[in-house]
Amino acid sequence: MKKLLPTSTSGSLPKPSWLAQPETLWSPWKLQDDELVQGKQDALRVSLQEQHRAGIDIVSDGEQTRQHFVTTFIEHLDGVDFENRKTVKIRNRYDASVPTVVGPVARRKPVFVEDAKFLRQQTDQPIKWALPGPMTMIDTLYDAHYQSREKLAWEFAKILNQEAKELEAAGVDIIQFDEPAFNVFFDDVNDWGIACLERAIEGLKCETAVHICYGYGIKANTDWKKTLGTEWRQYEEVFPKLQQSNIDIISLECHNSRVPIELLELIRGKKVMVGAIDVANHEIETPEEVANTLRTALKFVDAENLYPCTNCGMAPLPRDVASAKLSALSAGAAIVRKELEA
């Protein structure tokens, strides 16, 4: 990006009410068959238009074609039985009924590649595409086949690499892996989590990002955050190794979080997508608030590496709230950009 402080979102944006129940995760589709295919494309167009209107520089599909950022990808793979469900604890936080790995996992055909081609046709701006990271994928499954979190993660990394290469060929500029699990399983992250991520990006020429956050603004996450104390130092555990990794961009949560901002020093040299928009409340940030978050981050991130962003996805928010937050992000970035260029 030549433009200073290019803005983007973490990924998901609200879906229109004619496509899926608003403000709901795993919301069932309201359309079927061909109507669903066209409905998803229309929603993608609307979501893109919203991003254009708000002046977002690096745009995405707003995840309009997927029900959930992890499950939808897994649904397309062999070896996972969605009928045979088991209850597990997700990210050590809440119980969920999840599918079972019953055999070797494999990607028989591309998952999001057609959607990415469609997005590419709709815009000349840089596009970012989100995929789940290997560690977050294994954390939303019961594994009755490999019986090893690490083995399963390596298999997923290979599959993600196949998908990522095709997304790159479809014209995606930045491929992002969502790894909220990196904020929980520190030993595994350092032992094999980051290595698996590097396997997933092997051979890619486009830019790559990892998004590590404290989750959507849903109750299980906000309750968990209350147990984390006054300082959230989770990033401190994984940043040193990430700084040494081949990942180009690190996307993280800042505004309204209790992450000590000086932890950004640990990833000096990397590009950083700084979360300047809180996705866990409905209050709209003022441009000046966004600008303040960015100014603080600039003490630890060189200006050419700073990418203003949201803390996480905005799928569970009302559409008008998400839309106003996008505008605030853009306006706040514009203030600081002007200061830097002065």
Footprint on this chain of Zn ion (rule: CB under 5 A): 213, 312
Walk across the sheet containing 77-90 and list its strands: 77-90, 94-107, 142-143
Contact 206, 173 (CB under 8 A): yes
Q: Which is nearer to Zn ion, 39 or 316 (CB)?
A: 316
Q: Which is nearer to Zn ion, 54 or 312 (CB)?
A: 312
Instruction: Give the H or E element holding residue 147.
Output: none
Q: Which is nearer to Zn ion, 245 or 310 (CB)?
A: 310
Q: Which is nearer to Zn ion, 273 or 312 (CB)?
A: 312
Walk across the sheet containing 249-253 and list its strands: 128-132, 174-178, 207-212, 249-253, 271-275, 306-309
Contact 62, 54 (CB under 8 A): no
Q: Which two tokens stand for residue 77?
A: 């793979």
Closest approach of Zn ion to the CB of residue 121, in Å: 27
Q: Which is nearer to Zn ion, 130 or 336 (CB)?
A: 130
- DSSP state for residue 282 in the 8-state scheme: -
Which region holds residue 33: left if phi is over 0, alpha if psi is between -120 and 50, else beta? left
Closest approach of Zn ion to the CB of residue 313, in Å: 6
Can you tell me which residue has the tokens 């290595």?
Answer: 195
Closest approach of Zn ion to the CB of residue 289, in Å: 20
Q: Which is nearer to Zn ion, 107 or 211 (CB)?
A: 211
Closest approach of Zn ion to the CB of residue 288, in Å: 25
Closest approach of Zn ion to the CB of residue 215, in Å: 6
Closest approach of Zn ion to the CB of residue 264, in Å: 17
The rounded Cα 2 to chain-centroid distance in angstroms is 23
Q: Which residues pair with 175 in a beta bridge?
A: 129, 208
